[in-house]
A and B are shown apart, each in its own frame.
Chain A
């Protein structure tokens, strides 16, 4: 019954159409993602500067690591890999990513369990937790910067009144608390997202399992660890990797909440700073290439070790 144009089978015809449907998207992605990525990597092996993008010359691995032996016999190491500022940024990023994702997962799980229970006003609570998610990151950074202000901030006031602190803290300015401030804002903003992803997983768990456990008189804590957690593990694994990738590339919150603080400067912030502000374009490109490599390795390990099915093809 089907009209075969040029003797092609229906499947071939559909596959040919599929190619033309996908081609423009792939072309666009190549243009804005693959090509710029390759160029960044190429720049990282040159001495290109911001003012002269085409005047760079190939210098090999010098932006990453180079060594020069002085006449006196001393070895001078140079490059990102021996730059303490870079390793500080790596440490900040990793610390931020693990702590924030840990708290977001635990708190997100709690919020999701609450939302999964049936109670009056559930719709209202779900609407309320969407608010932090809807607020732009920059705006939430400013809002919290005001609330965390050392002199006039409401957080210091609340904590003083509750007797939690004895004197006002300069949350964003002091090196001891700057990272805590960034973590607080990120956890506030992203826990709702985590909760919604986990909630979607929770809602897949059939209700009669809980019913059976309740009739058998199983302790709720035991139900959670023995039934709920194993069943939502796939959803949890996917949510955690998404958040982790987001946390490892964090830029805007740190840049606005704690500008120029060495205590919070992340890999993205330091790369951009070198690239654009310090006119060490190629050096910054090398750092962003390293960040890309770190994330790529991390994702591969996670998917491989956790056997996470991200594409959703496996269920079909």
Chain B
């Protein structure tokens, strides 16, 4: 090895270390802080020095935060199931049937998912009030359709396009109707895609803030992001950083674990839209 080669190898690994530290450090620091209480919070700790579950007890002991977690789980699950249900049939039609205006329709669906959500806020607010679902989970379930549905349709369409034509042709020759083709032929092949898409849509719904902030008015109906976002002390000086970090860790750890388990599939799902050019 020449000196130059050794140097460039060292440089490369230094870059790798910087990337990893920069990515992981904030989350690590949140975990360290979440186990710190009292005056220890106001000393800067690079390494965990104290270990106390007190912040977690504070957060989970308050009824409202646990309530928020259930709200979020209910809302995100319902939204995803509904979106997947509508998306499977729609994306079959968009991926496998040739008809006029298909490209335009796909562009429209993409446009909706790229929508600035604020642009529909006034109209949705009226709709939510009109339906009498203000300050209930159904307000969020309704409004989250705006980003989960286009996203699931889009990703499932790209997945379905890649399935071989032959299996479908065989089914058609056997006289299968489109409905049979979807449920008996495609659905079994689509399971991995459904899991990935569902997970990504779930994360999207779990993290949403604007609608959840606007369509709830009491602490018991808040979702997790709103509960954490509005968690504050009596004044700027009294922000309860310990409990906030504990709450943050509680809602983030499951997501991080899920994402790490489904890594490969998530990367495939994220890059499915359009990037294949």
Contacts and interface: CB of A to CB of B under 8 A. Distances in A.
Given A36-B124, A114-B16, A312-B274, A154 B256 contact: no
Interface in B70-103: 86-87, 89-90, 92-94, 97-99, 102-103
A246 B191 CA distance: 29
A131 B23 contact: yes
A242 B125 CA distance: 26
Given A196-B270, A272-B214, A14 B178 contact: yes
B228 A114 contact: no
A229 interface: no
Interface string B221-251: 0001110110000000000010011001001
Contacts of B256: 131, 134-135
Contacts of A142: 228-229, 244-245, 248
Contacts of B41: 152
Given A310-B107, A313-B106, A242 B114 contact: yes
Range class of the B interface residue count: 35 or more
A200 B270 CA distance: 10
Interface stretch (A72-80, A211-219, A289-297): A289-297
A137 B255 CA distance: 13
A144 to B, nearest CB: 6
Contacts of A140: 26
A184 to B, nearest CB: 10
Contacts of B107: 310-311
Interface of B: 12-13, 15-16, 19-20, 22-24, 26-27, 29-30, 33, 41-44, 46, 86-87, 89-90, 92-94, 97-99, 102-103, 105-107, 109-112, 114-127, 129, 142-143, 145-146, 149-150, 153, 158, 161, 172-173, 175, 177-179, 182, 203, 206-207, 209-210, 213-214, 224-226, 228-229, 241, 244-245, 248, 251-252, 255-256, 258-260, 263, 266-267, 270-271, 273-277
